[in-house]
Amino acid sequence: MTAAAVKFGIVGCGHAARRHAEAIASLPGAVLPAACDIDPGVLESFTQLYPVRGYRDFGELLEKEKDLDVVIICTPSGLHAEMGIMAACRGKNVLVEKPLALTMADADRLIHACEKEGVRLSVVLPNRFRPAWRLLKLAVEGGKFGRLSHATATVRWNRDHAYYGRSAWRSKKDEGGGVLMNQAIHSIDVLRWIMGRVDSVFAQTATRYRPIEAEDVGLAVLRFADGALGLIEAASTVYPRSLEETIAFFGERGTAVIGGTGAGGIKTWAFNDFIDREQAIRVCSGPDEPSGQGHRAVLLDMMNALWHDRRPAVEGREGKKSLEVVLGLYHSTQTRRPVSLPLNLDERYARRGE
Ligand SMILES: NC(=O)c1ccc[n+]([C@@H]2O[C@H](COP(=O)([O-])OP(=O)(O)OC[C@H]3O[C@@H](n4cnc5c(N)ncnc54)[C@H](O)[C@@H]3O)[C@@H](O)[C@H]2O)c1
């Protein structure tokens, strides 16, 4: 494909869709001719904000908008696999919001459909593009930490009653609600990406005081394949507002703590044999990254993949890895036992809440 404008379509015009629409508007070479939402009020608000042709039915959008290059799936998480497969079968490249799907079986179906149809599949995990976390991955790969003893992911957020009231799926276990699947998956993905394969997980979750069926707090211990340990603390219950999303890595010759309220900020950066904190901040263009940059980077990556005939940076198989960890955490909670990864066949097909 030459450097013609990339035509995106969006299905699901809620909260996530607006981030994509803003990012598309800011990117030269990206256009958004069409969008779809089943809810007429949501669709009307969206089409008033952005100059798109609006559809109520996704099948109709795919039928009429034959020129689209990429469909962005921003519907509730339980619909990702089915809608991604519909788009792939129409020859569209697929950019699917996290999580890739809600079961490993659905994730596989989506991946295989995209492979069969010869279209690209990428998962929206914007943290993968944050400069500080990319630098940290280089440090781990370059052995700059020495042996790692452990890493932690802390997601101390506030999601209030209104957040859950706006969209019913956010409350439900089997529709992708819950702080682990819906919020902490971003940090879990970074942990898994940087620390490598997870051997086993042990988790506890609870629903303390949000009016939801899914968990509002989840704690977990992980063992990585190289023997290092991991700790996850995830909560949507924090009073009175979100405190932090922080990831910390502790090694023989290095310590790095990245996060804070703005997610990508370098808090601690201490190495025996690597660039110092000031250099790291310069490389990452500042101590904190402006919000909203993440979705832009994800879209630009897909555009470059099309223009330069390459694969996107975060393909479906990558998105499946953090999904497997989260499903392992739920399985551990249900069985009250540690769970080994990869998940076995029954666990791969298990739906949450069963
Ligand atoms: N990457 C991120 O930072 C990020 C942030 C927020 C949400 N998300 C993800 O984006 C997805 C959507 O989340 P949200 O907060 O925008 O939800 P939302 O409820 O605000 O929006 C979802 C929209 O999908 C529409 N929809 C439902 N079924 C449909 C159908 N069959 N056809 C067309 N439209 C349909 C709903 O009417 C709704 O407007 C979720 O998977 C969530 O995990 C990702």
Q: Is residue 316 part of a domain?
A: no
User: Running DSSP on this structure, what letter comes out for residue 281?
Assistant: H
How many CB atoms sit inside 10 A of residue 277's CB? 15
115 Cβ closer than 6 Å to some ligand 1 atom = no
Q: What is the pLDDT of residues 116-163, one digit of tens each?
A: 999 999 999 999 999 999 999 999 999 999 999 999 999 999 999 999
**Same domain assignment for residues 204 and 60:** no
158 lies in a domain?
A: yes
Asked if residue 318 belongs to a domain, the reply is no
Q: Is residue 352 part of a domain?
A: no
Q: What is the pLDDT of residues 302-349, one digit of tens each?
A: 999 999 999 999 999 999 999 999 999 999 999 999 999 999 867 766
Same domain, 287 and 148: yes
For the residues 255-276, what does the mean pLDDT come to?
A: 88
* Band (351; pLDDT cuts 50, 70, 90): low
pTM for the predicted model, two decimal places: 0.96
| 30 Cβ contact list (under 8 Å, min separation 6) | 5, 6, 8, 23, 24, 299, 303
CA 263 – ligand 1 centroid, Å:
22
DSSP 89-153: HTT-EEEEESSS-SSHHHHHHHHHHHHHHT--EEEE-GGGG-HHHHHHHHHHHTTTT-SEEEEEE
Among candidate residues 74, 108, 125, the one where a domain is terminated: 125
Q: Ligand 1: does its nearest atom lie under 6 Å from the Cβ of 39? A: yes
What pLDDT is stored for residue 260 in this prediction? 83
Q: Which is the closest atom of ligand 1 to the Cα of 42?
A: 39
Q: How many residues does the chain have?
A: 354
Alpha-carbon gap, residue 87 to 353, rounded angstroms: 28
CA distances from 296 to 11, 29, 125, 243 (A): 18, 12, 11, 24
Q: By mean pLDDT, which of 71-75, 141-145, 174-178, 275-279 is the weakest?
A: 275-279
**pLDDT at residue 286 above 60?**
no
Both 30 and 141 in a single domain?
no
Q: Is the CB of 23 under 6 A from ligand 1?
A: no
Question: Which residue among 38, 298, 352 is best mutated to probe the pocket of ligand 1, counting the most ligand atoms within 8 A of its Cβ?
Answer: 38
* Same structural domain, 209 and 329: yes
Average pLDDT over residues 108-115: 98
User: What letter does residue 344 receive in the DSSP assignment?
Assistant: -
CA distance linking residue 139 with residue 157, whole number of Å: 28
- Minimum-distance ligand 1 atom for the alpha carbon of 167: 19
Amino acid in the structure at residue 350: A
% of the chain with per-residue pLDDT over 90: 87
Distance from residue 14's CA to the centre of ligand 1 (Å): 5
* Residue 1 pLDDT: 47
CATH at residue 108: 3.40.50.720
136, 164: one domain: yes
Mean pLDDT, all residues of the chain: 94
| Whether residue 42 has its Cβ less than 6 Å from ligand 1 | yes
> Do 160 and 285 lie in a common domain?
yes
Residue bearing the CA closest to ligand 1, atom 32:
38
Whether residue 268 is found in the same domain as residue 181: yes
Give the distance (Å) from ligand 1 centre to CA of residue 228.
35
Q: In whole angstroms, what is the distance from residue 96 CA to residue 153 CA? A: 24
Q: State the DSSP H helix or E strand holding residue 262, giving kind and residue range, or none if neither.
A: none
Quick check: CB of 282 below 6 Å from ligand 1? no
Q: Residue 74: CB within 6 Å of ligand 1?
A: yes
Residues 171 and 284 in one domain: yes
How far, CA to CA in Å, does 29 sit from each of 13, 220, 254? 22, 43, 41
Q: Which domain holds residue 17?
A: 6-125
**139 and 120 assigned to the same domain:** no
Question: Is the pLDDT higher at 282 or at 308?
Answer: 308
* CA 12–ligand 1 middle distance (angstroms): 5
Kindly report the CA angle at 306 between 301 and 311, in degrees rounded to 5? Answer: 65
**What's the whole-number mean pLDDT along residues 18-28?**
97
Query: Which residue, by CA, sits nearest to atom 25 of ligand 1?
Result: 12
Q: CB of 128 closer than 6 A to ligand 1?
A: no
Ligand 1 centroid to residue 159 C-alpha, Å: 16
Q: Is 78 in the pocket of ligand 1 (CB under 6 A)?
A: no
76 C-beta closer than 6 A to ligand 1:
yes
Same domain, 71 and 134: no
Choosing from 11, 75, 187, 322 the residue with most ligand 1 atoms within 8 A of its CB, the one to mutate for a pocket test is: 75
Least confident of 61-75, 97-111, 140-154, 263-277: 263-277
> What stretches of the chain show up as alpha helix (H) in DSSP?
15-26, 40-49, 58-64, 80-89, 104-117, 131-141, 161-166, 185-195, 277-283, 293-307, 316-335, 345-349
Give the closest residue (by CA) to ligand 1 atom 41.
77
Q: Residue 266 pLDDT more than 50?
A: yes
Same structural domain, 79 and 101: yes
The total number of structural domains in the chain stands at 2
**What's the CATH number where 231 sits?**
3.30.360.10
236 in Cβ contact with 185 (< 8 Å): no
**Residue 312 domain-assigned (yes or no):** no
pLDDT for res 263: 63
**What is the helix (H) or strand (E) element at residue 336, kind and residue range?**
none
- Domain final residue pick, 125, 142, 165: 125
Q: Is pLDDT above 90 for 352?
A: no
Lowest mean pLDDT: which of 85-94, 184-193, 288-297? Answer: 288-297
Sign of CA dihedral 155, 156, 160, 161: positive
Ligand 1 neighbourhood includes 193 CB (under 6 angstroms): no
Q: 228 near 195, Cβ under 8 Å?
A: yes
Does residue 74 carry a pLDDT above 80? yes
Distance CA 5, CA 162 (A): 38
pLDDT at 3: 76
185-240 pLDDT tens trace: 999 999 999 999 999 999 999 999 999 999 999 999 999 999 999 999 999 999 99
State if residue 15 touches ligand 1 by the CB under 6 angstroms criterion. yes
Look at residue 19 in the predicted model and tell me its pLDDT.
96
Pocket of ligand 1 contains residue 122 by CB under 6 Å? no
